[in-house]
């Protein structure tokens, strides 16, 4: 019985997690965005500004509808697309978003002024490490989509700000598979980023303080919450 199970299950275990054609299918077959938010998305695409991909948008919509967060913290505003997605999915939530890139801040301000009709989103300007020390209260969801090397540095303060049953989400942790490559084989200007991510993995994986889950959405999404 065991031998039969091994023979039949092993081929499945060695298949790629998500093939390119399946990613294309997910992005084209699932419910498409509509309304004003598509104007922000079109601007991002036309100007080569990275935003969360469609499958991640839909996952956020599902997650937020289940968790019904009262407060959301985002580190990495960019042009405000993901903050607006979360505001749309959680119309009762207060959303605090942080960025230090002046060009992105100006674009985000324009988008929030135009599309944040319920005035849910508070944009904080400055270095996230400093802004985090100024925040108070608990956040039900903390979403990080900024300098990947800093995730591990943001984590301690993020855990302090996290509500008892809250969730931290960190985007783009696969780095197109570079996390599997020996550090000295990575381009020199990318090594600090990779070292930061590997420090993060060393900190949270197999740590009894945390529950973690890695989702193959976009370029990898890491979920972290306190262990019970």
What is the distance between the alpha carbons of residues 74 and 142, in angstroms, rounded to a whole number? 6
Neighbouring CB atoms inside 10 A of 131's CB total 18
Write out the H or E segment, with its range, that includes residue 24: helix 20-29
Domain boundaries, the chain: 34-226
Give 113-156 as a DSSP string: HHH-TT--EEEEES-HHHHHHH--S-EEEEEE-S-GGGHHHHHH
As a whole number of angstroms, the distance between CA 93 and CA 146 comes to 22
What pLDDT score does 169 carry? 98
Model pLDDT for residues 120-132, shown as the tens digit of each residue: 999 999 999 999 9
Annotated binding site for S-adenosyl-L-methionine: 52, 82, 99, 127-128, 145
Q: Is the dihedral of CA 130, 133, 136, 137 positive or negative?
A: positive
Known binding residues are 52, 82, 99, 127-128, 145
Report the run of H or E that residue 215 belongs to, with start and end.
strand 210-215
* Residue position matching structure tokens 């973690």: 212
Which residue positions in the chain have pLDDT lower than 50? 1-13
Predicted confidence at residue 228, as pLDDT, reads 79
Q: Does the domain made of 34-226 have the CATH classification 3.40.50.150?
A: yes
Residue 18 is predicted with a pLDDT of: 78
The per-residue pLDDT for 16 is: 55
Please return the burial class of 148, using the count of CB atoms within 10 Å of its CB with bins 0-12, 13-18 and 19+.
Answer: buried
Whole-structure pTM value? 0.91
Per-residue pLDDT tens digits for 134-156: 999 999 999 999 999 999 999 99
């Amino acid at each position: 019985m065991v031998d039969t199970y091994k023979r039949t299950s092993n081929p499945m275990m060695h298949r790629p997690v998500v093939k390119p054609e399946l990613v294309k299918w997910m992005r084209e077959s699932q419910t498409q965005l509509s309304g004003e938010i598509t104007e922000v998305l079109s601007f991002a695409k036309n100007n080569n500004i990275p935003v969360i991909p469609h499958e991640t948008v839909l996952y956020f919509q599902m997650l937020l509808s289940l968790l019904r967060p009262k407060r959301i913290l985002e580190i990495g505003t960019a042009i405000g697309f993901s903050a607006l997605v979360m505001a749309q999915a959680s119309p009762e939530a207060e959303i605090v978003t942080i960025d230090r890139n002046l060009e992105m801040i100006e674009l985000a301000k324009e988008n929030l002024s135009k599309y944040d009709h319920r005035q849910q989103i508070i944009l904080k300007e400055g270095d996230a490490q400093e802004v985090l020390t100024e925040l108070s209260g608990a956040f039900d969801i903390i979403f990080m989509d900024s300098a990947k090397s800093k995730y591990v540095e943001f984590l301690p303060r993020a855990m302090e700000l996290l509500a008892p049953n809250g969730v931290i989400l960190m985007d783009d942790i696969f780095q197109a598979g570079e996390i599997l490559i020996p550090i000295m084989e990575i381009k020199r200007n990318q090594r600090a980023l990779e070292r930061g991510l590997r420090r993060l993995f060393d900190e949270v994986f197999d740590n009894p303080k945390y529950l973690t889950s890695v989702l193959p959405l976009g370029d990898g999404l890491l979920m972290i919450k306190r262990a019970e």
